[in-house]
Structure 1
Amino acid sequence: MSSSMVASTVTFAMYFVAMVAIGLWVYKRTTSLSDFVLGGRQLNSWVAGLSANASDFSAWLLLGLPGAIYLSGLGEAWIAVGLAIGFAASWYLIAGRLRVYTERATDARNGGESNSLTLSSYLENRFSDHSGVLRGVSAILILLFYLFYVASGLVAMGGLFESVFGFSANVAIIVGVSIVVLYTFLGGFLAVSYTDVIQAVMMWLALLIVPIVALVAVMSDPAVGHELDAATILGGVSAEGEWTLGHALAPIAIISGLAWGIGYLGQPHILARFMGIRSAKAVPQAAIISVGWAVTAMSLALIVGFTGVVFFDAPLDDPEQVFPQLIQALMNPWVAGLLLAAILAAVMSTADSQLLVASSALTEDGYRAFIKRDAPPMQLVWVSRAAVVLVAAVAATIALSGNRTIMDLVGYAWAGFGAGFGPVILLSLYWRKMNRAGALAGMVGGGATAVIWTELDARVLETGLYAMVPAVIVSVIAIFAFNRLGTASTQMEEDFDRVDTEAKAAA
């Protein structure tokens, strides 16, 4: 075994042990479903902010985005711009109000304040839905799209292990998902949140260090790399001089890229951080921490992509491996092992959060809501743990059976969540007269359009327009059109006024 392999093995093993140790540390603190799902709503600003980053910016940040820039050039940067705007908007428009509303809305089933633990239970309580339809439909959407989202992380994990250790991708997926399941199974939301803080720091430092070392290497040795010309800036390594600035500024490229930002308004694993923060008063500081990290990290990821264009003379077989390839080419084996572990951190920090939200949908919105409403607290915790294992197994099956790229899988799930939940969540927090009919129509219309458009455009239309755009338009139209078929009850309006007053006071 080479020294590089030994170093990578040791550092990866140390990382795995640290993650599992955190899971064991918080194991005994998890005594109720609230603890397992939202950590008892006790996250401080730093943990909430960095956990939101780590749970969001997965392999897409360290593999997908640099790979897209490396392959296709400047036009892909619009995605980062859209995400930066959308991420900031989610903190400033949604976080504080959602934190208050999920705790203060009247419980649709039992009366009194609800303490909603999931997005689905929030929607049921916000719209006083006694039928359970809103809760059931939203839980199904969450499970459906998270299976693809978790699968994208497992694909990235397989690629990383294959690149570093020479394992087959299938073996790597099985090993990686087993580690994620273990510490999520043990510690739930607190384990996921605390490990996220470590993972966020590792990711950011890796993105900072690698471009600096690469550029120093290129500038100090004329034999290394080549100049970055206009063609590769605009069109990536495969452009062959054919791209022009018009491609990067094409309306479809701009609209599709910016539309990614809308997705933040409806991502359950990010909204869970808003719901789990200590209080609405802690939101402004968390927003500064989180948005600052996100903007700088995405900027560094763009630089990594262009650094790969400069550094490698021959095009890479897999553009999404540009970051790992730079690390292995530039770094001392022990440093490389730590930096490669940061990529693994990106994968795991999102997969664990998504597993937790999906298991919560099965437990809180399935088992507890429709099967055993009076289940004891620890029974619900163990049902959630079993659900983590089940969701992970299904997602691993998807990852093992397909060959889609990370960006394809993430884009599919992101559009589904963004359109299915984004407009509904945003309007539910600011529109006093919104009701159950509008919310249900918006969810179904947006989620269904995201799925249909993705397949229709790929097979027939070939416009290249990201599914988020038509899906959000359909969702918004459906909300306003169908809202006329229902009414907001007096209780719903009183809840809205009470939440509005409290949220404004905390802002």
Structure 2
Amino acid sequence: MSQETGIILSFILYLGLMLFVGWFFYKRTQNLSDYILGGRQLNKWVTSLSAQASDMSGWLLLGLPGLAYLTGMGEAFWVACGLALGTYLNWKFVAKRLRQYTQISGNSLTLPDYFENRFRDHSKILRIVSAVFILIFFLIYTAAQFAAGAKLFNTVFGVPYLMGLAIGALVIISYTFMGGFMAVCWTDFFQGMLMFFAILIVPIAAVFALGGTGVTLDKIAAVDPAFLNIMASTGGKMLTVMTIVSSLAWGLGYFGMPHILVRFMAIRSSDEIKPARTIAMVWVLISLAAALFVGVVGRVYLTQTLEGAASETVFMVMVNQLFPTLIAGILLAAILAATMSTADSQLLVTSSAISQDFYKALFRKNAGDKELVLVGRLTVVGVSVLAFILAINPDSSVFKLVSYAWAGFGAAFGPTILLSLFWKRMTKSGALAGIVTGGITVLIWQQLKGGIFDLYEIVPGFILSVIAIVIVSLLDKQPSKEIQDEFESVGVSKI
């Protein structure tokens, strides 16, 4: 059996399993709650692993190793620290209260749903503005996942980039279209386990192939003594405070990620949040550390140098050289798993926003569940086509695309989520000001270059969003007694 044939067989088996899961849950999707939130019936294992798999995406196996490969441990290390800290804080402070609040406040199925119910927004402006920003930033984010899948097919099989883009998009569309939230979460659960295994075994195998830890470290030092220095970039250039702050600021993004927060909303009970947090943190810490070492070890293991966007293929090239056919196929399928686990979640959240927050809110207030599920499924197809167009450039950087979308969500929704959960005095006008200020700051800041504008756009976006929420809320009249009583009831909830 040739190398390519074995890998193709592994991919076909893997993709067939994902499509079967989609078909399985298609038969069990009875209403809109099932399609969007799985009837709030996720267990702790599926909640934690699906949340982290959809969080990390193809970025874990392509973007982060590529950054470490190009720049060494410095910047990549601080990005990983920011992500680990953000993950913990999100599970610790947001998960339980969001699960309780979204059910108490009108059984909210989406974030725009929650904002409208939390602030009793009868004008629907919060719902519509939130849905607009979800659509904008998820188009960019989904495009990043499609680009990652296309790079995989191009690197492994020599398939033209455009054809690889089409294959990956078609599979993701198929099972998201069919099965909705439960299909997405269960496929993400399996994909999370596969990603964990793959990212762990590759750097270990490479170190053994190089002759052990000592030899590997000597080779790295010979390439660049600063390569393992967390305070320096390649060539010994010290990292600036702005670079470190920008890298750590990735952690702020978690508080506003709809495709992660929706997992908290869907867990069976808030009592399962704590064990789910433990599972998630073990997965995250080990996976991030392994991803850094893929890039660093790959720098000395690979004989050819990967330039620019090609650095993001370091994991794939190492797998092809290190492992026999079938194992290589399974490990490379992990990249497909990583891209699919995020793209499917993003497509589902976007389809939920369009069906619930545009279609029903503006055009068909009395639309039934079957009609809304159909609209959601058609949205999956429509958004995928737009994301496909955005990802059509083969030089697209997965890291840069994810970075932009991550900042957008973190700044637009992060402060609004946090303050809505923990500040009773927050008002509808404050929430609207926060979402608009954070989102627009990111869109503008990213276009400016030089000096202070080199700071990662999530930092100014997050800060200005918080300021806008606080000032506008304090200038506004106090929330009604009904809203304040509901806020207090969340603290004693047993949901």
Q: Give the total of aligned pairs.
A: 488
Is residue 207–residue 216 contact of structure 2 (8 Å, CA) maintained in 1?
A: no
Is residue 214–residue 330 contact of structure 1 (8 Å, CA) maintained in 2?
A: yes
1:235 to partner: Cα distance:
9.1
Q: Which residue of 1 aligns with 2:490?
A: 499
Q: Distance in 1 between matches of 2:215 and 2:80?
A: 32
Secondary structure of the corresponding residue to residue 314 of structure 1: coil
Q: Deviations over 1:153-209 (max 9, x none)?
A: 011111110000101111111111000000011100000000011100100000111
1:225 to partner: Cα distance:
10
Q: Deviations over 1:100-139 (max 9, x none)?
A: 111111xxxxxxxx11110001001101111010010000
Change (3 A) 1:377 1:470: same
Is residue 147–residue 394 contact of structure 2 (8 Å, CA) maintained in 1?
A: no
Q: Deviations over 1:15-47 (max 9, x none)?
A: 110000001111111011110000011001011
1:462 to partner: Cα distance:
6.8
2:107 matches 1:115: yes
Q: Which residue of 1 aligns with 2:314?
A: 322
Q: Which residue of 1 aligns with 2:469?
A: 479
Q: Distance in 2 between matches of 1:10 and 1:237?
A: 43
1:237 to partner: Cα distance:
13
Q: Which residue of 2 aligns with 1:243?
A: 236
Counterpart code for 2:175: Y
2:224 matches 1:233: no
Q: Give the 5 Å matches for 1:2-13.
A: 3-13=2-12
Q: Which residue of 2 aligns with 1:441?
A: 433
Q: Which residue of 1 aligns with 2:58?
A: 59
Q: Distance in 1 between matches of 2:57 and 2:406?
A: 12
Change (3 A) 1:348 1:236: farther
Q: Give the unaligned 5+ runs of structure 1.
A: 106-113
Is residue 58–residue 350 contact of structure 1 (8 Å, CA) maintained in 2?
A: yes
Counterpart code for 1:441: A
Q: Distance in 2 between matches of 1:235 and 1:5?
A: 38
Is residue 161–residue 394 contact of structure 2 (8 Å, CA) maintained in 1?
A: no
2:176 matches 1:181: no
Query: Please, what is the CA RMSD of the aligned residues?
Result: 2.0
1:92 to partner: Cα distance:
0.9
1:53 to partner: Cα distance:
0.8
2:333 matches 1:341: yes
1:220 to partner: Cα distance:
6.7
Q: Distance in 1 between matches of 2:126 and 2:143?
A: 26
Is residue 41–residue 277 contact of structure 1 (8 Å, CA) maintained in 2?
A: yes
Counterpart code for 1:231: A
Q: Which residue of 2 aligns with 1:268?
A: 258
Is residue 38–residue 181 contact of structure 2 (8 Å, CA) maintained in 1?
A: yes
Q: Give the unaligned 5+ runs of structure 2.
A: none
Q: Distance in 1 between matches of 2:484 and 2:29?
A: 35
1:397 to partner: Cα distance:
0.8
2:268 matches 1:278: yes
1:128 pairs, out of 120, 123, 126, with 120
Q: Which residue of 2 aligns with 1:83?
A: 83
Q: Deviations over 1:295-336 (max 9, x none)?
A: 111011111111102212332131101100110011101110
Q: Which residue of 2 aligns with 1:25?
A: 24
Q: Which residue of 2 aligns with 1:111?
A: none
Q: Distance in 2 between matches of 1:25 and 1:72?
A: 44
2:191 matches 1:199: yes
TM-score relative to the length of structure 1: 0.93
Is residue 22–residue 183 contact of structure 1 (8 Å, CA) maintained in 2?
A: yes
1:410 to partner: Cα distance:
0.4
Counterpart code for 1:300: A
Q: Distance in 2 between matches of 1:153 and 1:412?
A: 13
Counterpart code for 1:232: F
Q: Distance in 2 between matches of 1:462 and 1:441?
A: 24
Change (3 A) 1:196 1:324: same
Secondary structure of the corresponding residue to residue 211 of structure 2: helix
Q: Distance in 2 between matches of 1:405 and 1:391?
A: 20
Q: Which residue of 2 aligns with 1:167?
A: 159
Counterpart code for 2:53: A
Secondary structure of the corresponding residue to residue 31 of structure 1: coil
Is residue 77–residue 230 contact of structure 2 (8 Å, CA) maintained in 1?
A: no
Change (3 A) 1:253 1:222: closer
Q: Distance in 1 between matches of 2:323 and 2:231?
A: 24
Q: Distance in 2 between matches of 1:328 and 1:183?
A: 28
Q: Distance in 2 between matches of 1:484 and 1:236?
A: 42
Counterpart code for 1:281: D
Change (3 A) 1:103 1:225: closer
Secondary structure of the corresponding residue to residue 455 of structure 2: coil
Change (3 A) 1:255 1:237: closer
1:463 to partner: Cα distance:
4.8
Q: Distance in 2 between matches of 1:339 and 1:82?
A: 27
Secondary structure of the corresponding residue to residue 130 of structure 1: coil
Counterpart code for 1:484: L
Q: Distance in 2 between matches of 1:220 and 1:376?
A: 62
Is residue 450–residue 471 contact of structure 1 (8 Å, CA) maintained in 2?
A: yes
Q: Which residue of 1 aligns with 2:279?
A: 289
Is residue 216–residue 297 contact of structure 2 (8 Å, CA) maintained in 1?
A: no
Q: Deviations over 1:200-226 (max 9, x none)?
A: 010000011111111111007999997
TM-score relative to the length of structure 2: 0.95
Q: Which residue of 1 aligns with 2:416?
A: 424
Is residue 72–residue 233 contact of structure 2 (8 Å, CA) maintained in 1?
A: no
Q: Deviations over 1:27-77 (max 9, x none)?
A: 111011110000011001011011101111101100100110010112221
1:437 to partner: Cα distance:
1.1
Change (3 A) 1:492 1:299: same
2:96 matches 1:96: yes
2:323 matches 1:331: yes
Change (3 A) 1:425 1:220: closer
2:134 matches 1:142: yes
Secondary structure of the corresponding residue to residue 227 of structure 2: helix
Change (3 A) 1:332 1:438: same
Q: Which residue of 1 aligns with 2:40?
A: 41
Counterpart code for 1:410: V
